[in-house]
Amino acid sequence: MNRRDEQALHERVARLLADPHHADHPLHEALGALAEHCRSQQQQLERLISISDRYQQLALEAREVTQKRYERSLRRQQKLSRISDGYQAMMRERNRALYQASTHDPLTQLANRRLIDERLRQLDTTERDFTLALLDIDHFKAINDRHGHDVGDRLLVAIAGTMREVLRDDDLCGRWGGEEFILVLTQTRLDEARRIIDRLRERVSAVTITRQGESLSVTLSAGISEHFRGERPLATLQRADHALLDAKRSGRNRCRVAARE
């Protein structure tokens, strides 16, 4: 029975009880008591429904409040995460910049002595074969004296760029000091190293910069030494330095290979 039919039934019973013709009916009293009981039950049910509706409304409001608090907390957490991610990215970039500054020459962006020393220690620890080459720009002091250090710096930067283009990915090129460069050629024997250095010298000799309409170019002298198992990297470097001195004493613009001592 739906609510409308139930209401119609209650109204019909109420009319019967109110009709004086049925006042003496033997079921009048019982029907009145039953009707009163039904009204009482209906009122109690309506109160329970009202309480339930209010409880559900309160639960819904509490849920909405909790949801809003959760969303605010989530937004704060997301904001903090973005701040943290940005801070970590900034720290990574700063650490990268600090490492770059501590391991590379500020003018040419080539490896500096610190990074070269690290690479040599690694190669010595892993016992990997390598060849060292020291290169010196011929008569570089005369260029600085005649044209100024700014022109000399431009020339160093141009030569450094050429070296990066010629060398292989596994090779390491560094500025050893002033106009001197060092190459660490991994897994490279003397014959191959000699070809690499000759190709590099040829490319560098083609590098020109212009100063007040005058084109300037330079040549390189080089000394090469192959590292032998059990030899200290410093000893290999010293042999390359001796070979470089030999190339310069022999007239420059040439390459000399160090003999094993």
Give residue-wise pLDDT tens across range 204-245.
999 998 888 788 899 999 999 999 888 899 999 999 999 999
Identify the weakest region by mean pLDDT among 30-44, 46-60, 195-209: 30-44
Identify the weakest region by mean pLDDT among 8-22, 155-169, 177-191: 8-22
Band of the pLDDT at 1, cuts 50, 70, 90? low
- Smallest CA-to-CA distance from 228 within 173, 201, 191, 189 is with 189
Band of the pLDDT at 258, cuts 50, 70, 90? very high
| CA–CA separation, 212 and 187 (whole Å) | 44
Band of the pLDDT at 17, cuts 50, 70, 90? low
Band of the pLDDT at 56, cuts 50, 70, 90? confident
Structure tokens at 63: 């849920």
Per-residue pLDDT, 23 = 67
Per-residue pLDDT, 99 = 85
Classify residue 207 as left (phi > 0), alpha (psi -120 to 50) or beta: beta
Mean pLDDT value of segment 109-134: 90
- Smallest CA-to-CA distance from 188 within 130, 232, 144 is with 130
Q: Is 159 a residue whose pLDDT tops 70?
A: yes
Helices (H) and strands (E) in the chain, counts: 7, 7
Mean pLDDT value of segment 122-151: 91
Cβ(227)–Cβ(188) under 8 Å? no
Per-residue pLDDT, 118 = 92
Identify the weakest region by mean pLDDT among 40-44, 57-61, 85-89, 128-132: 40-44
Task: Decide: pTM greater than 0.85.
Answer: no
Per-residue pLDDT, 48 = 84
Identify the weakest region by mean pLDDT among 51-55, 110-114, 174-178, 187-191: 51-55
Task: Please identify every residue annotated as catalytic.
Answer: 179
Could you give the angle at which helices 113-126 and 28-103 cross, rounded to 10 degrees? 100
Mean pLDDT value of segment 8-33: 71
